Amino acid sequence: MADCPHTIGVEFGTRIIEVSGQKIKLQIWDTAGQERFRAVTRSYYRGAAGALMVYDITRRSTYNHLSSWLTDARNLTNPNTVIILIGNKADLEAQRDVTYEEAKQFAEENGVGENVEDAFLEAAKKIYQNIQDGSLDLNAAESGVQHKPSAPQGGRLTSEPQPQREGCGC
């Protein structure tokens, strides 16, 4: 991992999880939290059903920026967007610079969760609950939830070679 570059701008990943028998597609946009990319990353909040506010427990500066990132997330998403606080690098306890207690207090005061182990599942459960109780309209583009057919419908599939990516693949 030491040879892999840090996120610059935005990285994207997708994961399919199952909650209460429903498959939910989570798209993860890693904006790296860098202030110099703030104007660019604001556009990625649009249409989000959930946001994970991640700070590095070994770097207080990442924790200190949480309030402004949380303000952006709340101002730039719909009111039903699930926001969860995650303390990253918990395996580096000896280098901890942000106490668990202060992060927990921030989470409680701001109504965001803090358990990194359950973060993805918790976000998916809350999004699913918003769908079930009708507070999230699946047909609205701003809901952040997209349904796609399980099999291609019409059109043709082609097998053109994809360009090879360089780098460490992190």
Q: What are phi and psi of 15, to 5 degrees?
A: -140, 135
Which of helix, strand or coil describes residue 50?
Answer: strand
Which of helix, strand or coil describes residue 62?
Answer: helix
What integer pLDDT is reported at residue 140 of this predicted model? 64
**Mean pLDDT per 10-residue interval, the chain, length 170 residues:** 49 77 76 61 73 87 89 86 84 88 88 60 72 70 53 42 47
What integer pLDDT is reported at residue 80 of this predicted model? 84
75 inside domain: yes
Closest Cα to residue 64, out of 56, 72, 73?
56
What integer pLDDT is reported at residue 167 of this predicted model? 47
What integer pLDDT is reported at residue 97 of this predicted model? 94
165 inside domain: no
Range of the domain at 111: 11-143
154 inside domain: no
159 inside domain: no
DSSP for 70-118 reads HHHHHHHS-TT-EEEEEEE-GGGGGG--S-HHHHHHHHHHHT-B--GGG
153 inside domain: no
119 inside domain: yes
What integer pLDDT is reported at residue 3 of this predicted model? 45
Which CATH number covers residue 47?
3.40.50.300
The total domain count for the chain is 1
Sign of CA dihedral 28, 71, 6, 95: negative
